[in-house]
Structure 1
């Protein structure tokens, strides 16, 4: 399963291979809504953005992550996402390490980005399953994952320590190959519906 940097483009979103050249714009994006202050998320603090980009690029070099910068229709960076936990033996990936500027949330942009990622995973990488994980108390993220059509596989209790030292229960969702045609049609229908336009930070 060759997993190489690639640009994925849709009507109102573009996913480009992550680069340090995106750092300053991503700092501004994470400040939009102070996303890093949400204790249950993994968005980097502004002063740690360059470090987080280097961390992700290091995982890319190790072939365990394929990180992207998320651009909106105005060609502005509004967040990050990744293919991670890449399993070449069993042809599985996880979509994760995702965050979006507050003004880009609830605009349909995340659905479009997930449609691009899932299409690439199932139709280019020939994955048999795609996994999505989130904090059990991140109800906004859980609802967004469930709207994609992913099914809850289970909850990993005391799975990790959060940034503030608390213990995280992790909800594990997945979409499998046989479900993809129906979910693709559902996501395309969601993308084609009118959505509110991103507000200015």
Structure 2
């Protein structure tokens, strides 16, 4: 009897629902636009100068752009739904997908102000990292943020990611200023320890 071929790994571009106790990551669709426009009003997030978060009036355009990137094979976007209220509270995305090198970036993430500094971000990142390392067999997952986004830098470090370096004058920002991009990563050998730390943090909360 011939041996069955090994199953192919899940596609890096597969859009799947990821479910935790506190958060559900739903494959992004145009149906999420009204809820996302409402969520971004919580904290008026689009006014933060060192981020690129869409205003309510720009939400449809932003969602359409993310869906086009998914169609083009360069990103996988999700809407973030909290389980306690059932409300959509943000978005997140797999970016810079390099399946042949088994690596990707988690980014373009934003959360409504009331969802920040809660279990939501921790569990969302745990779900995304688990899929990346355990389903997609990634060897590295990257995070990038603005040098001046100290809240984001601290949150990424709390995940267990290590800073790789700073890309100087990496982007021309919307107001013409230059962004220095801080690059962090988690590699596959670090994943078991990172997973344990994130799981323990959720258990203690």
Give the TM-score, by structure 2 length.
0.93
Q: Which has the larger radius of gyration?
A: 2
Q: Secondary structure in 2 aligned to 1:189?
A: helix
Residue pair 2:22, 2:119 contacting (<8 A) in 1 also: no
Match of 1:13 in 2: 23
**What is the count of residue pairs matched by the alignment?**
194
Match of 1:57 in 2: 67
**Are positions 1:180 and 2:186 aligned together?**
no
Match of 2:5 in 1: none
Which residue among 32, 43, 46 is the counterpart of 2:53? 43
Match of 1:147 in 2: 158
Residue pair 1:39, 1:163 contacting (<8 A) in 2 also: no
Q: Secondary structure in 2 aligned to 1:85?
A: strand
Residues 26-76 of structure 1: CA deviation (Å, up to 9, x unaligned): 001001000010011111111110000000000000111000000001221
CA distance in 2, matches of 1:89, 1:124: 15
Which residue among 108, 111, 115 is the counterpart of 1:104? 115
CA distance in 2, matches of 1:136, 1:8: 30
Match of 2:145 in 1: 134
Which aligned runs of 4 or more in structure 1 are off by greater than 2 angstroms?
none
Q: Secondary structure in 1 aligned to 2:133?
A: helix
Which residue among 141, 159, 171 is the counterpart of 2:170? 159
Query: What is the root-mean-square deviation of aligned Cα atoms in Å?
Result: 0.8
**Higher RCO, 1 vs 2 (CA within 8 Å, ≥6 residues apart):** 1
- The CA deviation at 1:164 is 2.1
Match of 1:81 in 2: 92
Unaligned 5+ segments in structure 2 are: 1-8
